[in-house]
Amino acid sequence: MKIYEKIRIYIDNNGFEHINIAQKAGISAVTFDEMLDGKITLYADDLRAICLALNVSPEMFVDVQSV
């Protein structure tokens, strides 16, 4: 599953409003929805801002495997 899909599921399952998370992350609502639809690239800075807005660690959405 892709990162943007995991974020969308998390947001939807926890009853967050997309517009509120977008505003907290400093991302326009249109851009935010396009990121979560996979239409535009979700960069590391965007992931950081979204995670701060959700008050979660990026590791929640990124599979980090030990080497």
Amino acid at 7: I
Tell whether the model's pLDDT for residue 31 goes beyond 60: yes
pTM of the model: 0.88
Helices (H) and strands (E) in the chain, counts: 4, 0
Q: With 80 as the cut, is the pLDDT of residue 24 above it?
A: yes
Domains (ranges, CATH) in the chain?
A: 3-60 (1.10.260.40)
Structure tokens at 16: 């967050």
